[in-house]
Amino acid sequence: MTTPRRAPGGFPVVGIVGGGQLARMCAGPAAELGITLSVLAEAPDAAAALVVPSAPVGEHTDLEAVRRFAAACDVVTFDHEHVPQDVLAALVADGVAVHPTPEALRHAQDKLAMRARLGALGVPCPRWVRADTAADVTAFGEAVGWPVVAKTPVGGYDGKGVRVVASAGELDDWLERAAMAGTGLLLEERVPFRRELAVLLARSPSGQAAVWPVVETVQTDGICTEVLAPAPALDPDLGSRAVAAALRVAGELGVTGVLAVELFETVDADGAPAFVVNELAMRPHNSGHWSMDGAVTGQFEQHLRAVLDLPLGSPSPHAPWTVMANVLGGDYPELYPAYRHVMARDPGVKVHLYGKGVRPGRKIGHVNVSGADLADLRERAGHAADYLRGVVTE
């Protein structure tokens, strides 16, 4: 079925472009809220297509496919940030409500645009430059010190599109590709950070915003593997400043829906806690998966409420701590027996799986555990994730 069937009573249809796990995790909240979901899916067996009745197959780059899809929806939002600006502009010209708006989304699609805008807003960022030539790279490295971090401005995710380089020569291939694409590269100083934090919030078209507690994110090989909510021993003043900066970014950029602001926690010249912004994402985000079980309003429900301009729900946590651990694909394709084991070992673990085939290193699910003892929760979440990956076997 490609036409979404609307619930009676004036309830809307939310269209999500992209059928990955983020769209999939909207399905439960949408059903609870009485809202109809429609997903433009990459394939009939995309994660979200497995759980949503209306999931036409089409490419997010195919203007006519996106247009046909959007015509049946009251608002269009996204599973990822890869929908081209010309497609978005055509939707807006068609009169479709698109959230986040193309203008806001540009800052999550193009890291150079993001850096320029955050800089103009006075939001703390690493030193950065656009590099088009090897000479640009060398000049920046000599100015801020080697190694430097190079990023493709567009299309990167989960550590892809990021390199740490000690000389311009290591970027020959990327510079060549960037020159052909006319995009340039983003170079950033390598920030010595204490840890990574994230501020997650939702903002509605009316301007209402709700912020979840600041979390600590733990990355392994560029992939988020663990989230601690809230961030342990966070300096209260740092937390306030980080939240204020995230709200300012959301407001100034006109973000609608969920915004994730990823931060490095650093130490300033006086030894005081400080931060710089690492990345922005304008959609539900891995750093907010804990909220599905750990907060009154989870990020997927909140994203739906925000893009519909409904009043936002409370982001208050249920428990002193919630720990999220990502489940990465392991060596064996039959996950079900491991899943049974994890459930038997710990009745308090919330297992979330995305309906995806197992491939080594692929994000196929996550687990959440809430409670009062952080060390215990980390052990339990980590064990469940490791067991599902096949890294531990007892």
Give residues in contact with its own copies (CB under 8 A): 1, 5, 7-12, 24-25, 27-34, 36, 44-45, 49-53, 55, 210, 292-293, 296-297, 305, 310-314, 316, 318-319, 333-337, 339-340, 343-344, 347-348, 350-358, 365, 370
**Binding residue per annotation — 42?**
no
Query: Is the separation of the CB atoms in 14 and 74 below 8 Å?
Result: yes
Identity of the residue, 126 or 329, whose beta carbon is nearer to its own copies in the bound complex = 329
Shortest distance, CB of residue 240 to its own copies, whole angstroms? 21
Taking the CA of residue 136 as centre, how many other CA atoms within 13 Å lie in the half-sphere pointing to its CB? 16
Identity of the residue, 115 or 352, whose beta carbon is nearer to its own copies in the bound complex = 352
The token pair that represents 157 in the structure block: 């995710």
Identity of the residue, 174 or 354, whose beta carbon is nearer to its own copies in the bound complex = 354
Shortest distance, CB of residue 1 to its own copies, whole angstroms? 7
Shortest distance, CB of residue 379 to its own copies, whole angstroms? 17
| Pairing status of strand 36-40 against strand 13-17 | parallel
**Binding residue per annotation — 176?**
no
**Binding residue per annotation — 5?**
no
Identity of the residue, 285 or 350, whose beta carbon is nearer to its own copies in the bound complex = 350
- Report the candidate in 271, 213, 267 with the shortest Cα–Cα distance to residue 243: 213
Identity of the residue, 11 or 146, whose beta carbon is nearer to its own copies in the bound complex = 11
Angle at alpha carbon of residue 87, lines to 206 and 19, rounded to 5°? 80
Shortest distance, CB of residue 4 to its own copies, whole angstroms? 9
Shortest distance, CB of residue 222 to its own copies, whole angstroms? 25
**Binding residue per annotation — 350?**
no
**Binding residue per annotation — 117?**
no
| Beta strand segments in the chain, E | 13-17, 36-40, 75-78, 128-131, 148-151, 162-165, 185-189, 195-203, 209-211, 215-220, 223-229, 257-267, 273-281, 321-328, 350-353, 363-371
**Binding residue per annotation — 326?**
no
The token pair that represents 144 in the structure block: 């801020």
Is 100 in a helix, a strand, or coil?
coil
